[in-house]
């Protein structure tokens, strides 16, 4: 079973998270940041994972620690749940349009952490700073040990930009974690 539970407590956030890679989009997400909850729900639904996540963060400061630490916890759980990666598809890429916006994401579950995030997002949606989209992607890729390339092919409304990026990442995860063989998909024989 590719399931992992993480508890992570710091002076800035207190997180409980359970992730099932082979789920059906079931979710219970509460971070205290409405727009971020919306993005994590999209990520869950479109990836086909199950995710329960409760975070109590220092929102009196801002949403930065909450978003970053949820990315860390999700990345840790994802890496642990993926295990030895035997048989996974590993590579994925998706293009997702969202009204006037369009996002491209490529994913390699390589074991190496690298985020190439091509756009500078700014401004706010609700109490969510758009620059936190990149922070989340970076925290996730760093801790999951994966390579993510993300680019908005067409920009527009901030809500749509974030949504297109999260949906494209979700679909890449759906494709990348799929078990399609009995081999580790690497000429080195390992993706650890
Ligand atoms: Mn929306």
Sheet containing strand 3-9, edge to edge, reads: 3-9, 13-20, 50-57, 27-30
pLDDT tens for residues 120-163?
999 999 989 999 999 999 999 999 999 999 999 999 999 999 99
Instruction: Assign 191 a pLDDT band (cuts: 50, 70, 90).
Output: confident
Q: Any residues with CB less than 8 A from the CB of 103 and at least 6 apart, and which?
A: 95, 96, 150, 151, 152, 153, 161, 164, 165, 167, 168
Task: Measure the CA–CA gap between 146 and 40, rounded to whole angstroms.
Answer: 18
Q: What pLDDT is attached to residue 189?
A: 86
At residue 83 the predicted structure's pLDDT band, cuts being 50, 70 and 90, is very high
Residue 164 pLDDT level (bands cut at 50, 70, 90): very high
- Residue 188 in this model has a pLDDT that exceeds 90: no
| Domain limits, the chain | 3-176
163 Cα–ligand 1 center, Å: 6
Mean pLDDT, the chain, whole residue set: 97
Q: How far is the CA of 192 from the centre of ligand 1 (A)?
A: 35
Secondary structure element (H or E) that encloses residue 27, with its range: strand 27-30
Q: In the prediction, which pLDDT does 192 show?
A: 81
Percentage of the chain lying above the pLDDT 70 cut: 100
Tokens of 124: 């706010």
In the reported structure, the alpha carbon of residue 186 is separated from the centroid of ligand 1 by a whole-number distance in angstroms of 37
List phi, psi (to 5°) of 29: -125, 125
CA–CA–CA angle 91, 159, 166 (5° rounding) = 15
**Confidence (pLDDT) at 55:** 98
Nearest residue to 69 (alpha-carbon basis) of 45, 40, 92? 40
Q: What is the pLDDT of residues 35-71, one digit of tens each?
A: 999 999 999 999 999 999 999 999 999 999 999 999 9
CB atoms < 10 A from the CB of 12, how many?
13
CA–CA separation, 153 and 155 (whole Å): 7
Report how far residue 152's alpha carbon sits from residue 83's, in angstroms, rounded to the nearest whole number. Answer: 31
- Residue 168 CA to ligand 1 center (angstroms) comes to 14
The domain defined by 3-176 carries CATH number 3.30.230.40: yes
- Measured in angstroms, how far is the CA atom of residue 77 from the centroid of ligand 1? 25
Confidence of residue 78 (pLDDT cuts 50, 70, 90): very high
């Amino acid at each position: 079973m590719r399931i992992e539970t993480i508890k992570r407590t710091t002076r800035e956030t207190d997180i409980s998270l359970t992730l099932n890679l082979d789920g059906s989009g079931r979710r219970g997400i509460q971070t205290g940041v409405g727009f971020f909850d919306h993005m994590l729900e999209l990520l869950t639904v479109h990836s086909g994972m199950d995710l329960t996540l409760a975070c109590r963060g220092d929102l009196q400061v801002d949403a930065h620690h909450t978003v970053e630490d949820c990315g860390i916890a999700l990345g840790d759980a994802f890496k642990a749940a993926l295990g030895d990666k035997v048989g996974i598809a590993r590579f994925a890429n998706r293009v997702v349009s969202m009204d006037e916006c369009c996002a491209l994401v490529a994913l390699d579950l390589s074991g190496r952490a690298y985020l190439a995030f091509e756009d500078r997002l700014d401004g706010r949606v609700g109490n969510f700073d758009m620059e936190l989209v990149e922070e989340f992607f970076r925290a996730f890729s760093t801790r999951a040990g994966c390579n993510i390339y993300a680019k908005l092919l067409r920009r527009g409304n901030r809500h749509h930009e974030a949504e297109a990026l999260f949906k494209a990442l979700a679909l890449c995860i759906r494709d990348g974690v799929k078990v399609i063989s009995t081999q580790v998909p690497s000429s080195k024989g390992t993706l650890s």
